Structure 1
Amino acid sequence: MVNVKSLQKLDGAPHANAFPSEEPKTIRLTLSEGEHVEPHAHPDREIVLYLISGALELQLDGEPYHVDQGDVVHFDGAQEISPVAKTDCTGLLVLAAKREAPNGKDLDNE
């Protein structure tokens, strides 16, 4: 099955879910300059953020990371996450379920 969506035409801000019933979760994040998302976590997810436009400061467990247009960031969703827009910005987030080995160990942290 192939499912194609236009990021620009998705409804919702700051989060718009491209494929609500499908994995991995694929979210368009849209923030205005100065806007932020309250600290939160996705403990069962690995996250990739691709910043399509603008600039933001990505706070991960209180540590700031500057992200510019065109940058891609991979991080563990178990951290406390809070993006802060330095300019108007749009990003694409992919939240993938963490893999688990048959013995119950987390394959992503081996």
Structure 2
Amino acid sequence: MARDLAPTLSDMRRAIARLRRLRDEADLTLAPFSDERALVERFIEIISEASRSIPQDVKDDFPHMGWRRVADVGNHIRHAYHRVDREILLNIMEHDLDLLDETLSRIQSRLSGE
């Protein structure tokens, strides 16, 4: 399982790194249909979709993560794009990335120790 999950975790962490870079290097306006908003939404979608590939038993070991919320945000962006508030995106970038990245790092460490 570690080999199968490794690319997923890596993709998620790369998307987080890109979001952090955008957050830290730019004065984000996240205006509708702007390139920066499209990038932010796409990286969040990647994280969301990839999270669905993490086995439930692994998720169960990290209940603090709010896995359902991680998965659901991608659906919201895809299916209710016209109602995605800028503040939701900024909140994810400001408050959720660090916890998710730390959790993914812990999962990677655990899998590499198997």
TM-score by length of 2: 0.27
Structure number with the higher strand fraction is 1
TM-score (norm 1): 0.28
More helix by share: 2
Structure of higher RCO (CA pairs closer than 8 Å, 6+ residues apart): 2
